[in-house]
C-alpha cells in the first residue's frame, strides 16, 4: 500500500476534524452575513442586474432616437424589468440618480426631485434636486448645472442636463448637448447591439444542435443497444487440467498475495472524506482571506486584485490538502489528464451550444413561478459592472474566466466526481457533483441553472476522461458573462 493511499484512509480523527472545520466555515459565513462585515451587499444596495437593466433602459431612451435602426423598435433587457425598488433601495445614490433620470425622461420632475432628495450619502444629488424644482433664473439652477457635469453614468448625466438646460431656457447649450448625445449614440449602443446579435446567434446554434444532435444520439444509442454482435460461445476445457503446484514449488520471484490484490483491485478513486476536506479547505481559506481583506478597510478600486488573490489563496489551500492526501500524482487524480486536441475544441463548443437553450428554458420557468426573472446575488457581478479601469477589468476577467474554472473544476469534476463515480455510478456522480456545485454557490435564484452547468461539465468529464474540456466549457461560460457585463456597463 502506497504512502498516499495510507493517508487517504478514513479515521475517526479525520471525521472529527472535518466536522469541526465545516462547522467553523458555516458559522463564520453566518456571522459575516449578519454582522457589519457582511460578505453580501449592504442593505438597500441594488444588485448588478438592477443597475444594468436601468442603464439599458436609460441608454435606449436617451440615445435610441439618434440611431435609425433603433427607432420604433422594442428593446427588452436580458435581465428583465426590475421590480419596484423598496424604500431602502431608493435611498442608495447609485440607484436614485438612475431612477430620477428615468423620471425626467418621463416628464415627471416632481418624482425625480423626490428621489434625489431621498438619496443618502451624496450632496451633489441635493443640488440637482434644488435645480430640478428651481425657477429658470434662480442661482440654484447654475449650481445644479455645475453639479450635473459630474453625474454618473453618462446617460443619466445627459438626461438630467437636457431637463435643466431646457428649464433654464439655454437654447445654445441645449443644442450642444443634443449634438453630444448624437455623437455618442453609436458608440454607446454598440455594446447592447453586439450582445443582442451574439445572443441570438448563439441561441440559434444551440437550437440547431438539439434539433440535429438529439435524433442522432437516439439513433446511435439504438444502434449500439440492438446491433451488438453476439458473443462467441465459450467451449468447455477439453483437456485434463494440470495439477496445481505445491506452495513450496512456487516461483521464487512471484509477487506477494497482497500486492496482487492491490494491482487487480478496481480503482475506487479518492475517498468521499478527502473530497469533503478539499472543499472545506477551499471555502474556509476563501472566507478567512476575505475577512482579512475587509479588516484592511480597502478602497473599491482594489477589489478586483483582492478577489484574484483570495481565489489564489483558496486554491492553494485546496491543492495542499489534495496533495497531502493523494500523493505526488494529485494532478492526475484531480482529472488533469491529456486529451485529444479535437475534444478540447469540439466538446466545450457543443456543450455550450446545447446548454444555452436549456439554461434559458429553466430561467423562463423559474420566472413564471417567481413572477420575476431570476437574478444572481453574486457580488462579483457588481464588481464587474462597477469597473472603470481596463487593468481592473482584465484582472476580473482572468479571475472569473480562468482562475475560477480551474479551481472549481478540479474540486467538483475532479476530486468529488472521482470519489462518487465508483460508489454510486456515472449518473449518480454527475447529478451528485452538480448538485453540490450549484448549492455551494449560495445563490438560490440561479441554483437550478448552476446545476445545469455542472451537469454539462460532468458529462464532458465523463466523455473525455479529463477535466480540460470541462474547464474550457466553464471558462467560456464565465468569460461570456464577464464580457456581456463589461459591454452593457461600458
Q: For residue 221, is it within any domain?
A: no
Residue 237: inside a domain: no
Within this chain, do residues 434 and 299 fall inside the same structural domain, yes or no?
Answer: yes
Regions of the chain with pLDDT less than 70 = 1-8, 28-49, 65-90, 121, 186-193, 195, 213, 216-217, 220-268, 297-300, 370-379, 381-383, 385-388, 488-490
317: which 3 cell numbers? 489551500
Domain membership flag for residue 259: no
C-alpha cell at 66: 439618434
Q: How far apart are CA 163 and CA 254, in angstroms?
A: 93
**Do 180 and 285 fall into the same domain?**
no
Whether 4 maps to a domain, the answer reads no
What's 414's DSSP letter? I
Domain extent, residue 279, equals 269-489
* Predicted local confidence at residue 74, as pLDDT: 44
Q: How many residues does the chain have?
A: 490
For residue 9, give the C-alpha cell: 484512509
User: What torsion do the CA atoms of 272, 273, 275, 277 make, to the nearest 10 degrees?
Assistant: 170
Query: Which class for 293: exposed (0-12), middle (13-18), buried (19 or more C-beta within 10 A)?
Result: middle
What distances in angstroms separate CA 410 from CA 159, 315, 337, 414, 461, one per listed residue? 48, 10, 11, 4, 11
Identify the burial level of 405 via C-beta atoms within 10 angstroms of its C-beta, where 0-12 means exposed, 13-18 middle and 19 or more buried. buried
Whose grid coordinates read 458573462? 481
C-alpha to C-alpha distances, 252 to 96, 255, 258, 263, 422, nearest whole angstrom: 86, 9, 16, 19, 35
pTM of the full structure: 0.72
Same domain, 182 and 278: no
Query: What gap in Å lies between CA 387 and CA 97, rounded to an integer?
Result: 18
Catalogue the E-assigned strands of 15-143: none
SS3 of 61-94? HHHHHHCHHHCCCCCCCCCCCCCCCCHHHHCCHH
End position of a domain, from candidates 188, 207, 234 = 188
Q: Are residues 134 and 274 in the same domain?
A: no
Count of domains in the chain?
2
Cis peptide before 78 (omega within 30 of 0): no
Asked if residue 105 is part of any domain, the answer here is yes
CA–CA dist 322, 278 (Å, integer)? 6
In a domain, 98, yes or no: yes
Q: Could you tell me if residue 206 is inside a domain? A: no
Q: How far apart are CA 451 and CA 449, in angstroms?
A: 5
* Residue 205 contacts residue 353 (beta carbons within 8 Å): yes
Last residue of a domain, one of 188, 219, 243: 188
Residue 249 lies in a domain: no
Residue 307 · residue 482 · CB < 8 Å: no
Q: Could you tell me the maximum CA-CA distance found in the chain, to the nearest angstrom?
A: 118
Q: Which of 188, 214, 233 is the last residue of a domain?
A: 188
Instruction: Write down the residue that cell numbers 479547505 correspond to.
Output: 281
Q: Are 131 and 143 in contact (CB under 8 A)?
A: yes
Whether residue 417 sits in one domain with residue 278: yes
- pLDDT for 20: 80
Amino acid at each position: 500500500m502506497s504512502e498516499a493511499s495510507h493517508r487517504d484512509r478514513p479515521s475517526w480523527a479525520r471525521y472529527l476534524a472535518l466536522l469541526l472545520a465545516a462547522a467553523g466555515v458555516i458559522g463564520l459565513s453566518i456571522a459575516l452575513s449578519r454582522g457589519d462585515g457582511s460578505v453580501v451587499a449592504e442593505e438597500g444596495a441594488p444588485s448588478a442586474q438592477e443597475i444594468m437593466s436601468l442603464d439599458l433602459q436609460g441608454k435606449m431612451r436617451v440615445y435610441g432616437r439618434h440611431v435609425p435602426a433603433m427607432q420604433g423598435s422594442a428593446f427588452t433587457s436580458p435581465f428583465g424589468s426590475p421590480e419596484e425598488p423598496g424604500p431602502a433601495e431608493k435611498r442608495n445614490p447609485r440607484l436614485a440618480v438612475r431612477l430620477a433620470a428615468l423620471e425626467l425622461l418621463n416628464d415627471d420632475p416632481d418624482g425625480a426631485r423626490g428621489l434625489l432628495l431621498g438619496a443618502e450619502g451624496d450632496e451633489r444629488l441635493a443640488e440637482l434636486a434644488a435645480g430640478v424644482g428651481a425657477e429658470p433664473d434662480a442661482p440654484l439652477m447654475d449650481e445644479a448645472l455645475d453639479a450635473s457635469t459630474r453625474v454618473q453614468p453618462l446617460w443619466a448625466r445627459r438626461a438630467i442636463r437636457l431637463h435643466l438646460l431646457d428649464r433654464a431656457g439655454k437654447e445654445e447649450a441645449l443644442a450642444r448637448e443634443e449634438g453630444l448625445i448624437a455623437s455618442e449614440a453609436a458608440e454607446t449602443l454598440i455594446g447592447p447591439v453586439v450582445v443582442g446579435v451574439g445572443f441570438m446567434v448563439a441561441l440559434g446554434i444551440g437550437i440547431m444542435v438539439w434539433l440535429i444532435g438529439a435524433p442522432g444520439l437516439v439513433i446511435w444509442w439504438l444502434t449500439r443497444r440492438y446491433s451488438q454482435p453476439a458473443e462467441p460461445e465459450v467451449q468447455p476445457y477439453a483437456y485434463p487440467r494440470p495439477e496445481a503446484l505445491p506452495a513450496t514449488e512456487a516461483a521464487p520471484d512471484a509477487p506477494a498475495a497482497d500486492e496482487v490484490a492491490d494491482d487487480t483491485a478496481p480503482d475506487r478513486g479518492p475517498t468521499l472524506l478527502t473530497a469533503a476536506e478539499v472543499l472545506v479547505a477551499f471555502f474556509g481559506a476563501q472566507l478567512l482571506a476575505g475577512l482579512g481583506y475587509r479588516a484592511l478597510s480597502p478602497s473599491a478600486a482594489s477589489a478586483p486584485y483582492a478577489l484574484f488573490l483570495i481565489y489564489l489563496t483558496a486554491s492553494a489551500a485546496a491543492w495542499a490538502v489534495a496533495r497531502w492526501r493523494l500523493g505526488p500524482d494529485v494532478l492526475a487524480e484531480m482529472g488533469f489528464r491529456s486529451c485529444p486536441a479535437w475534444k478540447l475544441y469540439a466538446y466545450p463548443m457543443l456543450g455550450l451550444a446545447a446548454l444555452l437553450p436549456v439554461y434559458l428554458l429553466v430561467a423562463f420557468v423559474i420566472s413564471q413561478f417567481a413572477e420575476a426573472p431570476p437574478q444572481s446575488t453574486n457580488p462579483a457581478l457588481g464588481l464587474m459592472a462597477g469597473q472603470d479601469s481596463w487593468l481592473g477589468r482584465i484582472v476580473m476577467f482572468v479571475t472569473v474566466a480562468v482562475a475560477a474554472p480551474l479551481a472549481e473544476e478540479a474540486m467538483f469534476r475532479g476530486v468529488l466526481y472521482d470519489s462518487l463515480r465508483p460508489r454510486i455510478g456515472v449518473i449518480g456522480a454527475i447529478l451528485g457533483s452538480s448538485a453540490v456545485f450549484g448549492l455551494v454557490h449560495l445563490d438560490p435564484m440561479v441554483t437550478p441553472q448552476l446545476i445545469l452547468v455542472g451537469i454539462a461539465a460532468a458529462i464532458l468529464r465523463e466523455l473525455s476522461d479529463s477535466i480540460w474540456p470541462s474547464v474550457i466549457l466553464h471558462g467560456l461560460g464565465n468569460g461570456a458573462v464577464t464580457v456581456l457585463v463589461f459591454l452593457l456597463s461600458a
